Structure 1
Amino acid sequence: MKVSEVRGHLDGLLLSVVESGPLHGYAIITAVQERSNGVLELRKGTIYPALNRLERLGLLRSDWESVGERRRRCYELTDAGRRSLATERTVWQEFITAIGSVLDPTPPTPPTPPTPGHAT
């Protein structure tokens, strides 16, 4: 899937994958790809500016972690990030309900009530 197709939802995707605990950039990219069964492939050029922006907004915080000779920045949700993620999820549910209503306008068939006099 193209990055342009997820651009409006990128913040929610990033906040969601770090919800369970701190992750570094490559682990975030991998988590999004794994959770989407390989459909979403984010690139470093897309993710790092977004992570920096989310940090400036106070939705993420980061810290440097050393792994052997290498250092990497790990990101985690702030309380404001948790609230923002909850809002993102609500907005997403409203969005898919609205789009689903347009793309599939057939209302679900209600269950058939039992016929009087017959045991069910």
Structure 2
Amino acid sequence: MNLSKDLMAASSTPLVLGVIAEGETYGYEIVKRVEELSGGKLQWTDGMLYPLLHRLEKQGFLISRWHVGDSNRKRKYYAITEDGRKTLCEQQQQWQIINQALNKVWRDIQRSGSHDIEFA
């Protein structure tokens, strides 16, 4: 199944902030963590992730630093700021409201049998 670009765009900020809130990390690890969290259904590219990271950093939600890791590779590590945590909390509340509404409407459709949608 291909997820819509609109849904991907809307969910990318809370996903990235959430992953980085787990601990300081770099781009490749973020991509892998999102893939893991989605059971392999979300496979982000560098072209999608890095503009988002730069935007979030410019907005003050992330800070970054260059670090040479164990493999002697220079990587840019990202950490969430206090403003980023506040934004993540706000987005979590918004997504919970949306999720609750969608679940209710889908349950109502299922109960009424008025639509041929199958739910997992």
Give TM class, smaller chain: 0.7 to 0.9
Q: Aligned partners of 1:69, 1:28: CA distance in 2, in Å?
A: 19
Give the equivalent residue in structure 1 for 2:117.
Answer: none
Give the equivalent residue in structure 1 for 2:74.
Answer: 71
Q: Aligned partners of 1:55, 1:14: CA distance in 2, in Å?
A: 12
CA contact (8 A) 1:19 1:77 kept: yes
The answer to whether residue 56 in structure 2 is matched with residue 82 in structure 1 is no
The answer to whether residue 66 in structure 2 is matched with residue 102 in structure 1 is no
Could you tell me which runs of 5 or more consecutive residues in structure 1 were left unpaired when the two chains were aligned: 109-120
Q: Aligned partners of 1:79, 1:55: CA distance in 2, in Å?
A: 12
CA contact (8 A) 1:3 1:42 kept: no
State percent identity of aligned pairs: 32
Distance 1:20 1:76, change over 3 A: same
| 1:33 CA displacement | 0.6
Q: Which runs of 4+ in 1 moved over 4 A?
A: none
| 1:70 CA displacement | 2.2
Q: Aligned partners of 1:2, 1:97: CA distance in 2, in Å?
A: 20
Q: Aligned partners of 2:8, 2:104: CA distance in 1, in Å?
A: 21
Could you tell me which runs of 5 or more consecutive residues in structure 2 were left unpaired when the two chains were aligned: 112-120
After superposition, the C-alpha distances for 1:48-94 in whole angstroms (9 at most, x for unaligned) are 00000000000000000113442110001000000110111100100
Larger radius of gyration: 1
**Correspondences of 1:10-89 after superposition (within 5 Å):** 10-67=12-69, 68-89=71-92
After superposition, the C-alpha distances for 1:93-114 in whole angstroms (9 at most, x for unaligned) are 00011112222217x9xxxxxx
Give the equivalent residue in structure 2 for 1:8.
Answer: 10
Q: TM-score, normalised by structure 2?
A: 0.82
Q: Alignment RMSD, CA only?
A: 1.7
Q: Secondary structure at the match of 1:37?
A: coil
Q: TM-score, normalised by structure 1?
A: 0.82
| Aligned residue identity for 1:65 | H
